[in-house]
């Protein structure tokens, strides 16, 4: 009778469905299809699609690549620990290390230009959270994740860590400066 007891009819599969229920089922099926199609739709027409390009790497290999970029393109240092600020040419492969408890190095990018940003961790898991653009990706040791980023707003952006990584986690910060094309950003 009620939901606490077995169905009153032995064969309930052939019972007719109430009209209100049928209307709603039609709505939710159509909605489910729309929700599903939105994701491929955005891959075609949207500007924000994370690529699945990634490589297996090691802390040493990733550090070496990062060092090479830092040595070649550093324009100045900043902050209490003299973190290098790297200004790479548009389209370059650039490398960002997440480690306890720092994002290294800092970058200066040009608005409207694209860069192949590689991110990895050299120790524990971290969370790359770029503010105020609010872009968030998971950063894993052993994985080199590649995303092509195109900044659309100038100003100083802060990288916050949003995956817990031990007692210094809340102070793990990094910087990406975005400047107009051709300007020095000073």
Partner 1 sequence: MADQGDDDRDVPVMQRILDNPFILLFIGILIPTMTYIIWGIMELISIPIAD
Partner 2 sequence: MSSATASDFRTCPDTGLKFHRPAEALIKANAVAAVVFLLVGGVLGLLVGLTRWPEVHLLEADAFYQVLTAHGINVLIFWMIFFEMAVLQFCSSTLLGCRIATPRLGWASWGLMVIGALLNNYAVLWKGNSSVMMTSYVPIPADTWFYVGLILFAVGALINCFIFLATLVIAKSERTYEGSLPLVTFGALTAAIIAIFTIASGAVILIPTLLWNLGFVSHIDAGVYRLIWWAFGHSSQQINVAAHVAVWYAIAAIVFGAKPLSEKVSRFAFLMYIAVLQIASAHHLLVDPGLSSEWKIFNTSYAMYLAVMASMVHGLTVPGSIEAAQRAKGFNSGLFEWLRKAPWGNPVFSGMFLSLVGFGVLGGITGVVMGAEQINLIVHNTLYVPGHFHGTVVVGSTLAFMALTYWLVPILFRRELILPRLASWQPYLFGLGMTGVALFLMGAGTLGVPRRHWDILFSSAPGGGYEFSAAALTMMSLNGMSVVLACLGGAAFILIVVGSLLFGRKLDEEEKVGREMIATPPAEASYAGIGSGSITIPGTLVMVFVFFAAFALYYFINWKYLAETWGIS
The residues of the shown chain that bind partner 1, judged by CB under 8 A, are 10-14, 54-57, 61-62, 143-144
> Using CB distances below 5 to 8 A depending on partner kind, what does residue 161 bind out of partner 2, partner 1, none?
partner 2
- The residues in 2-61 that bind partner 2, with binding defined as CB under 8 A, are 2-10, 12-13, 15, 17-21, 23-25, 27-29, 31-33, 35-36, 38-40, 42-43, 46-52, 54
> Using CB distances below 5 to 8 A depending on partner kind, what does residue 77 bind out of partner 1, partner 2, none?
none
Q: Which residue has the tokens 């860069």?
A: 115
For the CA atoms of 110, 114, 120, 121, what is the dihedral angle to 10 degrees? 20
Residue among 58, 68, 91, 136 that touches partner 2 (CB under 8 A):
136
Q: Residues 83-112: x/- map of binding to partner 2 (CB under 8 A)?
A: ------------------------------
How far apart are CB 144 and partner 1 at their closest, in Å?
5
Maximum CA extent, the chain: 80
Distance CA 185, CA 183 (A): 6
> Using CB distances below 5 to 8 A depending on partner kind, what does residue 155 bind out of partner 1, partner 2, none?
none
How far apart are CB 13 and partner 2 at their closest, in Å?
5
Cα 152 to the center of its chain, rounded Å: 16
Residues in the chain: 186
Q: Specify the DSSP class assigned to residue 141.
A: B
Q: Is the dihedral of CA 163, 103, 95, 68 positive or negative?
A: negative
Distance CA 167, CA 170 (A): 8
């Amino acid at each position: 009778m009620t939901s606490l007891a077995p169905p009153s009819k032995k064969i309930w599969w052939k019972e007719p469905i109430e009209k209100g229920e049928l209307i709603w089922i039609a709505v939710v099926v159509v909605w489910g299809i729309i929700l599903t199609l939105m994701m491929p739709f955005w891959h075609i027409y949207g500007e924000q699609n994370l690529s699945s390009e990634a490589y297996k790497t090691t802390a040493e290999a990733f550090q070496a690549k990062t060092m090479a970029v830092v040595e070649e393109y550093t324009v100045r240092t900043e902050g209490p620990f003299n973190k290098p600020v790297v200004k790479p040419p548009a389209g370059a492969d650039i490398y960002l290390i997440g480690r306890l408890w720092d994002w290294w190095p800092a970058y200066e990018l040009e608005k409207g230009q694209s860069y192949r940003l590689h991110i990895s961790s050299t120790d524990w898991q971290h969370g790359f959270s770029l503010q105020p653009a609010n872009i968030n990706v998971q950063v894993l040791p052993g994985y080199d994740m590649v995303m092509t980023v195109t900044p659309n707003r100038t100003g100083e952006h802060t990288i916050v860590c949003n995956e817990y990584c031990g007692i210094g986690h809340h102070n793990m910060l990094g910087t990406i400066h975005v400047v107009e094309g051709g300007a020095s950003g000073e």
